[in-house]
Chains A and B, each alone.
Chain A
Amino acid sequence: VRASEEEAIRDYAAARMPSLLRSAFLLTGGDWYRAEDVVSTAIVKLYLSWRRASRTQYLDSYVRRILVRTWLDEQRRPWRREHVVDMVPDVGASVDDLERRADLREILAGLPSRQRAVLVLRFYEDLSVDQTAEALGCTPGAVKTLTNRALSAVRRRLPGTLIELEDA
C-alpha cells in the first residue's frame, strides 16, 4: 500500500468514523467499547483490501459489509460469544421515551446476533432486503425470516412500537 493510498484510507476512515462507531454500537447491543474493537478490526481489514475496496462503485457498502462480518466473526469466537436471554422483562406502553430507549437497548442486547444485525441494517441503515442479504452473506429469504423474528421480539417487549416495512 503506497503512502498516497494510506492517506486515502486515513481520510476515509476519519470521515466515516462516527457513523461506523454508531452502527457498531447498535450491533453490539449498546456497548461503545466493543464497538471500538469491531471498528478497529474493520479498519485493519479495510487497509488489507484497500485496492479492491477502492475500485468498487459503492465503497460505503463494501465497508459496511466488512464491519458486519467482522462483528459476526467476533461472535463466533467462544470467549466472545453472547448469551441470548430467555426473557426480557415486559414493559408497558406508557413508559416515557428515555425508558423506551433503555428498553430497546436491552432488547437489542438480548437478540441473537444475526437478528440484531438485520434490525440495525434495515431500520438504522435503511437497507433493503437484498442489500441486507448482501451485507450478511445470506439469502433474501433468510433476511425476511430474521426480520420477522426480530420484530416479533420488539413488538412483544415494546408494545406500541410503530414498524413500517415496505418489502418484508
Chain B
Amino acid sequence: MSSDLRTMLARLADEPPPVNIDLDRRIAEGRRRVRRRHLLGGLACVVVLGLFGGVVASQAFQTAAGPPSTG
C-alpha cells in the first residue's frame, strides 16, 4: 500500500488542536515588551547624553581654568 506524503502530513495535522492560546495575554505581553524596549531606549539616551555632557563640562572647566602653571 502506498500513500502520498502530502496527504499523510495533512491527515496527521487534521485533528482539531486540543490547545487554546489566550490572545489577550499574548497581546498584553507584547505591550509590556514594547514598553520595556522604550524604557531601555530612554535609559540608553540618558546615559549617552550624560556621558557627552560630562565630557563637554570637563573640557569647559579646563578651558576656564587656563593652562596648568609650570611653577
Contacts from A to B (Cβ < 8 Å): 1, 6, 9-10, 13-14, 17-18, 21-23, 25-26, 30, 32-33, 35-36, 39-40, 43-44, 47-48, 93-97, 100-101, 104-105, 108, 119-120, 123-124, 126, 154, 160-164
How far in angstroms is the closest Cβ of chain A from B62?
45
CA distance A5 to B23 in the complex (A): 14
B26 touches A13 (CB 8 A): yes
B18 proximal to A (CB < 8 A) = yes
Take A22-B13, A26-B9 as given contacts and tell me if A33 and B19 are in contact as well, using a CB distance cutoff of 8 Å.
Answer: yes
B30 proximal to A (CB < 8 A) = yes
B9 touches A162 (CB 8 A): no
**Interchain pairs with CB closer than 8 A, number:** 105
Task: List 23 A-B residue pairs with CB atoms under 8 Å apart, sorted by A's residue number.
Answer: A9-B27, A13-B23, A17-B17, A18-B17, A26-B9, A32-B18, A32-B19, A40-B26, A44-B26, A44-B33, A48-B34, A93-B1, A93-B2, A97-B11, A101-B8, A101-B11, A104-B8, A104-B12, A108-B12, A119-B5, A124-B13, A161-B5, A163-B5
**A32 to chain B: which residues have CB within 8 Å?**
17-19
> Secondary structure of the A side of the interface?
helix
Give residues 16-48 of B contacting A (CB, 8 Å): 16-19, 21, 23, 26-27, 29-31, 33-34, 37
**Number of B positions contacting A (CB below 8 A):** 26
A36 touches B19 (CB 8 A): yes
**B30 to chain A: which residues have CB within 8 Å?**
1, 9, 43-44, 47-48
**B4 to chain A: which residues have CB within 8 Å?**
161-164
CA distance A33 to B19 in the complex (A): 7
A124 touches B27 (CB 8 A): no
**A108 to chain B: which residues have CB within 8 Å?**
12
B10 proximal to A (CB < 8 A) = yes
**A44 to chain B: which residues have CB within 8 Å?**
26, 29-30, 33
Name the contact of B13 in the complex, choosing from A10, A26, A48 (C-beta under 8 A): A26
**A105 to chain B: which residues have CB within 8 Å?**
12
B9 touches A160 (CB 8 A): no
